[in-house]
């Protein structure tokens, strides 16, 4: 079977279970591989050496980072895992255990501090200041302030992914209970809870939209469309830049939720369900971070050490 036809079968099997952003990344990687190897190439003739040559091509010709090449390796391995099991193909896996996955240094997880979060929320109220002709600093009030405040608070309160928050509709949120129905990666449904602070922020925002309908976006653009990830990222980064908070990303809100959930007494199994992770590996990163932080706190506050007991 030609590679292009095998890819058709792969997407028929897998497209419905992958998140939209994952699909974009997978299709980009597989397109680059198809361009390199040839769409008409018989899939059974592709070898491990071909994969290695392609990975070298990604590094030298496409100048991709180690992380990007590692992601491509994951995509190709996923494709061959499917091809190995697919009755119409049943070809051997030429990547797993044979072609080494590129390694890269993972960035250290640094949650936002309470001071940073409060500052970002307050920065939602006003735009960048300017100096009037009389030398006075003037700030204009932003008409999306209540929406943007609600977004930040909901991020911190629930650990939602950015694309999950963008896709929410009004009907997905129950204002009486705070329950939010979320469709996560692979269209897997879960629920998260907006507690009183987030519910108050959402109440204020929705009160400004009295004519909104159940199928309208929970967080709407000025044209009443769903926000996209880029718009969301820009509004957060602009707010942060006005008050000097550095290294602002949307995913850091998710990190901050997970870290503080554990520090405030939540358990890892509960966190796994709230974040929508199938495996505990990612959750364990937050567990280790929280434990390390508490150990440092104990060292600083140790009564025995501070009293110099012997």
Q: Active site includes 161?
A: yes
Q: How far is C-alpha 179 from the chain's CA centre?
A: 21
Question: CA-to-CA distance for 28 and 210, rounded, in angstroms?
Answer: 42
**Given 185, 204, 226, 233, which residue is catalytic?**
185
Residue whose tokens read 């991709």: 64
Reported in sequence order, the residue ranges of 168-286 that DSSP labels E, i.e. its strands, are: 179-183, 189-193
Q: Active site includes 286?
A: yes
> Cα dist. 123→40, 47, 226 in Å?
55, 55, 22
Question: CA-to-CA distance for 127 and 141, rounded, in angstroms?
Answer: 6
DSSP tag of 310: -
Q: Cβ contacts of residue 60 below 8 Å, gap of 6+? A: none
Q: Active site includes 308?
A: no
**Given 61, 90, 234, 251, which residue is catalytic?**
251
Do 249 and 280 touch, CB atoms closer than 8 A?
A: no
**Given 69, 199, 254, 255, which residue is catalytic?**
254
Q: Active site includes 185?
A: yes
Cβ atoms within 10 Å, residue 302: 11
Q: Active site includes 251?
A: yes
Q: Cβ contacts of residue 197 below 8 Å, gap of 6+? A: 153, 157
Length of the chain: 310
Coil, helix or strand for 259? helix
Q: Active site includes 277?
A: yes
Q: What contacts 24+ positions apart, CB below 8 Å, involve 115-120?
A: 116/245, 117/152, 117/156, 117/256, 119/243, 119/245, 120/152, 120/236, 120/239, 120/240, 120/243, 120/245, 120/248
**Given 69, 149, 161, 255, which residue is catalytic?**
161
Return the active site residues: 161, 185, 251, 254, 277, 286
């Amino acid at each position: 079977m030609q590679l292009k036809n095998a890819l058709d079968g792969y997407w028929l099997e897998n497209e419905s279970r992958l998140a939209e952003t994952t699909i974009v990344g997978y299709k980009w990687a597989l397109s680059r591989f198809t361009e390199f190897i040839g769409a008409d190439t018989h899939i059974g003739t592709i070898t491990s050496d071909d994969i290695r040559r392609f990975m070298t091509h990604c590094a030298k010709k496409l100048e991709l980072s180690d992380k990007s090449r590692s992601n491509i390796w994951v995509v190709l391995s996923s494709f061959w895992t499917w091809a190995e099991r697919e009755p119409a193909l049943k070809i051997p896996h030429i990547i797993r255990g044979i072609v080494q996955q590129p390694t890269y240094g993972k960035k250290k997880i640094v949650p936002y501090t309470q001071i940073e979060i409060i500052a970002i929320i307050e920065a939602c109220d006003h735009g960048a200041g300017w100096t009037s002709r009389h030398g006075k600093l003037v700030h204009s009030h932003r008409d999306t302030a209540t929406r943007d405040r609600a977004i930040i608070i909901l991020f911190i309160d629930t650990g939602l992914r950015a694309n999950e928050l963008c896709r929410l509709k009004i009907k997905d949120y129950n204002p009486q209970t705070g329950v939010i129905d979320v469709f996560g990666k692979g269209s897997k449904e879960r629920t998260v809870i907006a507690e009183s602070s987030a519910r108050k922020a959402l109440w204020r925002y929705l009160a400004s939209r009295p004519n909104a309908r159940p199928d309208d976006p929970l967080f709407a653009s000025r044209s009443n469309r769903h926000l996209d990830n880029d718009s969301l990222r820009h509004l957060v980064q602009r707010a942060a830049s006005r008050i000097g908070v550095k290294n602002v990303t949307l995913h850091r809100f998710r990190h901050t939720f997970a870290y503080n959930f554990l520090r405030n007494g939540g358990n890892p199994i509960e966190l796994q369900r709230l974040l929508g992770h199938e495996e505990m590996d990612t959750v364990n990163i937050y567990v280790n971070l929280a434990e390390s932080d508490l150990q440092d706190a104990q060292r600083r506050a140790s009564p025995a050490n501070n009293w110099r007991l012997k």
